[in-house]
Amino acid sequence: MSDIFKPENDAHVVDAVRWAASGNGKVLDVVGHASKRGLGRLSRAENVLDMSALSGITLYEPEELVMRARAGTALLEVQAALDDAHQMLAFEPWLPGALYGTESGTLGGMFACAQAGPRRPLVGSVRDHLLGFEAVSGRGERFKSGGRVVKNVSGFDLCKLMVGSMGTLGVMTEVTFKVLPRAEKSRTVLLMGAKDPGAAMRKVQNSAYEVSGVAHLPATIAARSGVSDVRENAAQGVTLVRVEGPASSVQVRCEALRALWAELGRVEDLHTANTAQLWAEIRDAAFFTPDHQVWRLSVSPSDGPALAAMLAGSEYYLDWAGGLVWLAVPATDGASAERVRGALNDCATSGHATLMRAAPEVRARVAVFQPQPTGLERLMKRVQDGFDPHRVLNPGRLVLDRE
């Protein structure tokens, strides 16, 4: 028989974890709003630890660029508070709606899943914004790490480990994170029909113009954009660069970027409202049809374009100036993992591939997250032993435990 626990305070979380850790093979599926169940393997836990009642912003000091909230707080609530103060989560959290049809989820889930958006190369990833947390380990012990300040070298940085751990090390109960001012203006320059999109992207990425997004949409993908300027110019593919900041600066930098791209093809500007919509599509992988598996590859920018074209034909696009490849393969492709990871090994100097969307039975069979070399995998298991020796938290969600 399965239990659903809905803790209302930290002590409840401790009790639930200790109950599970007491033996008899009891395990917990830790969820916030269950919005990202499409990511990772399905947990084999039959009992649910529902964190959604541990909710609410507990500290927000805009002039200190810091917010603290309970882990079950809805991301929408956080974003509303940030909007009021003209601030933002600078790493542009990926939202699961486009891939899974779910709502935005909770803060705890956002940190546990660690998927950053187009602004990542400029401002850092999810991991770079978590300043501190409180959690209950798989041993049923409360612990904290970090603090509320950005500069902090006081003991091991466990924040980094918790981000992206898919809830397998501890149940975060409260998170403290860095927030940043939202730019006054945001504009996108479009380049149509670039012959070598990779080189075009790196040209602007490696310029002095502090670009906050560099992407390329091949024709098929660009034609599916909800932004008419992109859709109507889709024919030979669209390469994009975003600039943000004070109005005067945005204008100057856009002009400079247009000049950099002028010899590569036709260029055009996209203004603030359309820019927001377009980069949300890029952030969330909104271009793929539901009958496709979706992969996300992080590689060095110069490796991305060739790798993507080789693997996906036309069903792909590039973010992070080529360093992030989103690609789709038919849902019936049973060998996509071998093919994608094989190509990654053969053609990229370094990188990893994550299966972002696939049927549960596919995710049960293949490694959703990049398998690690043996020595590193052993080390990661020893780290897990330290946090959750009996694997009671989200067992199997990150890697398939040998049972």
Using the rule CB under 8 A, is 112 a contact of other proteins? Answer: no
Q: Choose, by CB under 8 A, the member of 109, 140, 218, 237 that binds other proteins.
A: 140
Q: Choose, by CB under 8 A, the member of 64, 83, 196, 338 that binds other proteins.
A: 64
Residues 111, 297: Cα–Cα separation, whole Å: 19
Query: Would you give the binding string for other proteins spanning residues 175-214, x where CB under 8 A is met?
Result: -----xxx-x-----------------x--xxxxxx----
Residues 297, 293: Cα–Cα separation, whole Å: 13
User: Considering beta carbons, is residue 204 or 227 the nearer one to other proteins?
Assistant: 204
Q: Choose, by CB under 8 A, the member of 1, 153, 263, 291 that binds other proteins.
A: 153
With contacts defined by CB under 8 A, name the span among 151-159, 230-238, 278-286, 310-318 that binds other proteins: 151-159
Q: Work out how close the CB of 237 gets to other proteins at its nearest, in angstroms, rounded to a whole number.
A: 21
Q: Work out how close the CB of 211 gets to other proteins at its nearest, in angstroms, rounded to a whole number.
A: 10
Using the rule CB under 8 A, is 268 a contact of other proteins? Answer: no
Q: Choose, by CB under 8 A, the member of 25, 56, 84, 143 that binds other proteins.
A: 143
108 closest CA partner among 243, 7, 19: 7
Residues 126, 354: Cα–Cα separation, whole Å: 16
Q: Work out how close the CB of 228 gets to other proteins at its nearest, in angstroms, rounded to a whole number.
A: 30
Q: Work out how close the CB of 355 gets to other proteins at its nearest, in angstroms, rounded to a whole number.
A: 12
Could you tell me if 108 and 32 are in contact, meaning their C-beta atoms sit under 8 angstroms apart? yes
Q: Work out how close the CB of 287 gets to other proteins at its nearest, in angstroms, rounded to a whole number.
A: 21
Using the rule CB under 8 A, is 141 a contact of other proteins? Answer: yes
Using the rule CB under 8 A, is 139 a contact of other proteins? Answer: yes
104 closest CA partner among 78, 67, 69: 78
Positive or negative CA dihedral for 232, 233, 238, 244?
A: negative
Using the rule CB under 8 A, is 86 a contact of other proteins? Answer: yes
With contacts defined by CB under 8 A, name the span among 55-63, 71-79, 227-235, 272-280 that binds other proteins: 55-63
Q: Which residues pair with 66 in a beta bridge?
A: 61, 178
User: Considering beta carbons, is residue 4 or 310 the nearer one to other proteins?
Assistant: 4
Using the rule CB under 8 A, is 71 a contact of other proteins? Answer: no
The single-letter code of the amino acid at 84 is D
Rg (CA), the chain: 21
Could you tell me if 134 and 142 are in contact, meaning their C-beta atoms sit under 8 angstroms apart? yes
200 closest CA partner among 267, 286, 251, 255: 267
Q: Choose, by CB under 8 A, the member of 154, 291, 346, 403 that binds other proteins.
A: 154
CA 51 to chain CA centroid, Å, is 20
Positive or negative CA dihedral for 224, 229, 233, 239?
A: negative
| Three-state DSSP class for residue 208 | coil
